[in-house]
Amino acid sequence: MSQHTLSNAQDRDRLDKLASYRDEFYIPANAIYMDGNSLGLLSKRAERTLHDLLNSWKTLGIDGWTEGTHPWFYLSEQVGEKMAPLVGGMKSEVIATGSTTTNLHQLVSTFYKPDGNKTKILADELNFPSDIYALKSQLRLKGYDPDTHLIRIKSRDGRYLKEDDIIEAMTDDVALIVLPAVLYRSGQVLDMEKLTKAANERNIPIGFDLCHSIGAVEHSLHDWGTDFAFWCTYKHLNGGPGSVGGLFIHEQHFGMEPGLAGWFGSKKEAQFDMEHTMDPALDAGAYQIGTPHVLSLAPVIGSLEMFEEVGMSAIRAKSFELTGYMLELIEQELQGFGFTIGNPVDKTRGGHLLLEHVEAARICKALKEDGVIPDFRAPNGIRLAPVALYNTFEDVWRTIQKLKLIMDEKRYEKFENKRGVVA
Ligand SMILES: *Cc1c(COP(=O)(O)O)cnc(C)c1O
């Protein structure tokens, strides 16, 4: 491998077809932002659409539901249509609604139908805590003990999951499978197609949490035959803190009674009939509950324009190049400092990398002091996400140089090795 230098990082930036998108974003002053997998940055387009919708409220009052640049009444469906290509869904299979965790509750309420001996939910021991809390509470609501009814697939090494281990656990007593698409720590992309096929063959509904995959990797949920999926829009989709999430439901399930019903799940034309018998939408819209959080959906409209323009395959290609470049630099510059690479290095790596180190918490603090914004994940993980739309190869080069200096000079030692409240 030839030595990587600042000038060849800059050369790569000059050749980068997506380079102009960086100017679309507000990059925090004097910072190298490597945390787009936790909270994506604000773009000018997202800011504009937020202002547009504030303006509808300001100038139209209640008529904003049906008038203005983006009438609020149809917004969840319209944003859903724009998100559909990101997950490989048909327009009618995707709706913008709720949050990751509330959508998970909705989908489990809809798809988890324990019957006879078929009562267990299959998940994994590496998933994000909120998903596990939700699954356990759903089991309790149905009168089952989560200790015996939530099966969490074990990781052999604490980092990754093996698809074959998961498939082996798809036994007759399993009523539902919920798995992450990309693991939030190691960034491993699970083989969703293979897992879906195995679940379909066994007649077990399967759904994926796309929080760390949407906007970073491609999906073909419809073609794979995945039953459902759910996600947030504030990570790789840059929708802003608490922006409205999304869900996918395969068209083969259209017409299925929503587990958690509410009037916004009605057919649009019937909603204001005010009948006490619900007439649910015949598509993904049925799984909405109440009034959409319009102002938290507004920035997503502008942000998604860029995903539409660029397309997921170009975004994934650049993201993969950036993480590949970072891995090469880690190998070139960070030998002997006690780091372990905690992410897959092959095609199964997602949009972020994980560097493990016993001093990770304070190394992150030293990075922040030096203008690099990483993300710490207890107990020993430094996540770094060079994002296709706004990070450069130079950002990656500088990040690793700064990290090397911090390690060389042991600059992290002046900080406590303890995480902050939000980390
Ligand atoms: C970010 C994330 C969440 C967060 O859930 P919210 O309901 O949006 O707070 C849940 N699960 C996973 C896997 C995540 O990455």
pLDDT in tens, 251-279: 999 999 999 999 999 999 999 999 999 99
Enumerate domains of the chain plus CATH numbers.
6-43+311-413 (3.90.1150.10), 48-310 (3.40.640.10)
Give the DSSP H/E element, type plus range, for residue 207.
strand 206-209
Q: How far is the CA of 129 from the centre of ligand 1 (A)?
A: 8
Q: Are 185 and 159 in contact (CB under 8 A)?
A: yes
Ligand 1 midpoint to CA 38 (Å): 9
Q: What is the dihedral angle through the alpha carbons of 402, 405, 407, 412, rounded to the nearest 10 degrees?
A: -70
pLDDT of residue 1: 55
Half-sphere exposure of 96 (CA within 13 A, CB side): 32
CA atoms of 206 and 204, how far apart (whole Å): 6
Rounded to the nearest angstrom, the distance between the alpha carbon of 127 and the centre of ligand 1 is 10
Task: Give helix 6-15 / helix 393-408 axis angle, nearest 10°.
Answer: 160
Nearest CA to ligand 1 atom 2: 211
Contact 364, 422 (CB under 8 A): no
Question: Which amino acids bring their CB within 6 angstroms of ligand 1?
Answer: 99-101, 128, 130-131, 180, 184, 209, 211-212, 232
Distance from Cα 56 to the centre of ligand 1, integer Å? 30
Indicate the Cα dihedral angle 329, 332, 336, 339, nearest 10°: 20
Start-to-end CA distance of the chain, whole Å, equals 35
The pLDDT of residue 419 is: 77
pLDDT, residue 420, reads: 78
Cβ atoms of residues 322 and 390 within 8 Å: no
CA 131 – ligand 1 centroid, Å? 7
User: How many helical (H) and strand (E) elements, i.e. helices and strands, does the chain have?
Assistant: 13, 13
Which tokens is 422 given?
């939000």
**Nearest ligand 1 atom to alpha carbon 100:** 7
At 10-62, the pLDDT tens digits run 999 999 999 999 999 999 999 999 999 999 999 999 999 999 999 999 999 99
Distance 423 CA to ligand 1 centre (A): 14
Mean pLDDT of the chain: 97
Residue nearest atom 8 in ligand 1 by C-alpha distance: 100
Question: Of all protein residues, whose CA lies closest to atom 1 belonging to ligand 1?
Answer: 211
CA 21 to chain centre: 21
Which of 97, 99, 100 most suits a substitution to test ligand 1, by most atoms within 8 Å of the C-beta? Answer: 100
Return per-residue pLDDT of the chain as tens, 423 residues. 578 999 999 999 999 999 999 999 999 999 999 999 999 999 999 999 999 999 999 999 999 999 999 999 999 999 999 999 999 999 999 999 999 999 999 999 999 999 999 999 999 999 999 999 999 999 999 999 999 999 999 999 999 999 999 999 999 999 999 999 999 999 999 999 999 999 999 999 999 999 999 999 999 999 999 999 999 999 999 999 999 999 999 999 999 999 999 999 999 999 999 999 999 999 999 999 999 999 999 999 999 999 999 999 999 999 999 999 999 999 999 999 999 999 999 999 999 999 999 999 999 999 999 999 999 998 999 999 999 999 999 999 999 999 999 999 999 999 988 777 777
